Chains A and B, each alone.
Chain A
Amino acid sequence: MTHPTRSRPALQHLARTVILYGLLVAFSALFLVPVLWMISASLQDQQGVFASPYAWIPASPRWDNYATVTTIFPFWRYLANTLLITLSVTAATLLSCSLVAYGFARLRFPGRDVLFALCLSTMMLPGQVTMIPLYVMFARLGWVDTFLPLIVPALFGTPFYIFLLRQFFLTIPQEYDEAALLDGASHLRIYWSIVMPLARPALATVALFTFVGAWNDFFGPLVYINSPQNATLTLGLNMLKAQITGTGLVEWQVLMAGALLVMLPNVAVFLLSQKHFVKGLAVGGLRG
């Protein structure tokens, strides 16, 4: 006797799959459309952006909008500034956070747990509370309009990454440490030669998140950087937007080209490092 129930689940399964794909495609379309819109706008000319009916693909695409943007928006300069700041911050963060996390994870000393709890609780502090005195301090030091206020704090660690790395270090078996200690190695050596190499995945995640965070930072540059030559990509884009929508002819197509240029490095970094992103969010979310 055949099992009549067997054909039903198969049909149900097919229906489910179709619906699933349908939903995914629909959502994807919704998510992609703004990007396509942006690309389309960046290739229009002055009349085209305001045209009705709108031509998604213009008859003669204005690739020169991208060239135009770079004359009023020093893309390469901003890219260099942003790269400098971001790489410095990433390196500083990796170094400081791993050192501190090692201390909290591997070493026992009085007050350790209290200090760690303190460290975690500062995660909850809105940055605005310390923003003004920090600004004043940096102004007194003469660091306003330089990159220093953006880079130097990274040398002192970030609670969130300290937490992440500490959790990870806790999962590394202590046998290696104990063997090295017996051999007379200092903690610094253990940190550098044993724990750090094993922590590469977590370090990669921290590096990635720090990189993206510093790259996209707007508030920091907004507050500390005054001259256009020292601006980062985010700040520069805001200046471009103010310039384009504020004075003279409003050229949306040029602004869209600028926005696209600023988005590209982010996309490139993400595509090159997808794996670590996913893993990192998993660690953060489950333990959070």
Chain B
Amino acid sequence: MITLLSSRHRRTLGGYAFIAPWLLGFLLLTLGPMLASVALSFSSWTMLSPPSWVGLVNFERIIADDPLFLRSLWNTAYYVVLAVPLTVGLGLVLALLLNQPLKGMTAFRTIFFLPSVTNMVAVSVLWLWVFNPEFGLLNRALALVGVEGPLWLQSEAWAKPSLVLMSLWGVGGTMMVFLAALQGIPTELYEAADLDGAGSYRKFLHVTLPMISPALFFSVVIGIIGSFQVFTQAFVMTGTAQPGSEGGPNNATLFYVLYLYKKAFQEFKMGYASALAWILFFVVLAFTMIQTRLARRWVHYEGGDR
């Protein structure tokens, strides 16, 4: 029967057959739920009773009447602005250090990379103990030099910086991306710069940075998208004995996705949580578009511009 169709039709059929899994998945698991989620965001639903349409009420409440929404947005933005540059910076520094033809680099690389592939919950549990104000590693070390460390996760001022510090431990992935990018820079470029009499600082600025700018862009974008969705650490580390108290001292570590989760799965306000999810979508979209716009200015692709 297939041979009766023209070869063009056969190709079309074949093409769609191959991408059918994704297409089906897109309809069932992405598009469908997205549309449902839009409908839900205009409804009120606790799952125990049928949903009821409320129009824009959810959005009104979120924007005008929800201090925790603003707090969670602030917390998340704070974390993103602090974590992304530091992680990208440290990743680059470590990659530069490792990009030398010296012995033992593999061992060092393993040490830096391992923490980033370990389980986030296990990492959170470990750092929960590290950050303990009295018995943890950090404050014991600080006490050795006579400094009284803060309460870290239980301190409103230090809770988010603690999480940023912990995220630096997982810089291995970013480091690897930069390492691969650095190793892809042709040495001729450096030799040419040497001939022009450039010192190492100028070489870095005018050869290295432009050549790794795609990797930089990638890391920053992935870093932003990922940091916006920070959840596990806050959930595990600042949830105390009573479930429902995740969020830290005075909600200092109530991040956006954590707040969403609480609204959806602890208070079962499905409509409200869906509205929150859509707001997140637009915020992330805006950020990514800004980044992409800006990228045209400074990201340099091999073989000419774009």
Number of A-B contacts (CB under 8 A): 269
Do the beta carbons of B277 and A122 come within 8 Å of each other? Answer: no
Assembled-state Cα–Cα distance A52/B135 (Å): 8
Please report whether the interface of chain A is mostly helix, strand, loop or mixed according to DSSP: helix
Cβ contacts A22-45/B at 8 Å (1 or 0 each): 011001100111110110010000
Do the beta carbons of A218 and B232 come within 8 Å of each other? Answer: yes
Contacts of B265 in A (CB 8 A): 223
Q: Is A17 an interface residue (CB 8 A)?
A: yes
Cβ contacts B236-270/A at 8 Å (1 or 0 each): 10011111000000000000010010001100001
Q: A27-B97, A49-B135 are in contact. Are A215 and B19 (CB under 8 A)?
A: no
A residues 86-140 touching B (CB-CB < 8 Å): 96, 99-100, 102-104, 107-110, 112, 115, 118-119, 122, 124-137, 139
Is the interface on chain B under 10, 10 to 19, 20 to 34, or 35 or more residues? 35 or more
Looking at B23-31, B62-70, B79-87, B188-196, the stretch in contact with chain A turns out to be B23-31
Assembled-state Cα–Cα distance A176/B119 (Å): 42
Assembled-state Cα–Cα distance A267/B115 (Å): 9
Do the beta carbons of B130 and A103 come within 8 Å of each other? Answer: no
Contacts of A260 in B (CB 8 A): 122
Q: A119-B26, A216-B120, A259-B125 are in contact. Are A129 and B36 (CB under 8 A)?
A: no
Looking at B52-60, B151-159, B218-226, the stretch in contact with chain A turns out to be B218-226
- Smallest beta-carbon distance B284→chain A, Å: 6
Chain A residue nearest to B270 in the complex (CB): A132
Contacts of A157 in B (CB 8 A): 21-22, 25
Do the beta carbons of B126 and A256 come within 8 Å of each other? Answer: yes
A: number of interface residues (CB 8 Å): 96
Q: Is B294 an interface residue (CB 8 A)?
A: no
Q: Is B201 an interface residue (CB 8 A)?
A: no
Looking at A1-9, A59-67, A198-206, A233-241, the stretch in contact with chain B turns out to be A233-241
Assembled-state Cα–Cα distance A159/B280 (Å): 20
Q: Is A282 an interface residue (CB 8 A)?
A: yes
Contacts of A134 in B (CB 8 A): 29, 33
Assembled-state Cα–Cα distance A129/B264 (Å): 12
Assembled-state Cα–Cα distance A103/B257 (Å): 35
Q: Is B215 an interface residue (CB 8 A)?
A: yes
Q: Which 4 A/B pairs are nearest by Cβ-Cβ distance? A: A156-B25, A103-B18, A109-B15, A282-B180
Seen from chain B, the residues whose Cβ lies within 8 Å of a Cβ on chain A are 11-12, 14-19, 21-26, 28-30, 32-34, 36-37, 40, 47, 94, 97-98, 100, 102, 106, 108, 110-115, 117-122, 125-130, 134-135, 137, 140, 169, 173, 176-181, 183-184, 214-215, 217-219, 221-222, 225, 228-229, 231-232, 235-236, 239-243, 257, 260, 264-265, 270, 273-274, 276-278, 280-281, 284-285, 288
In addition to A107-B14, A262-B122, 20 A-B residue pairs with Cβ atoms within 8 Å of each other are A34-B115, A37-B129, A96-B25, A109-B14, A109-B16, A128-B229, A129-B274, A131-B277, A133-B40, A133-B274, A137-B33, A156-B25, A187-B18, A212-B117, A216-B118, A218-B232, A281-B173, A284-B177, A285-B219, A288-B221
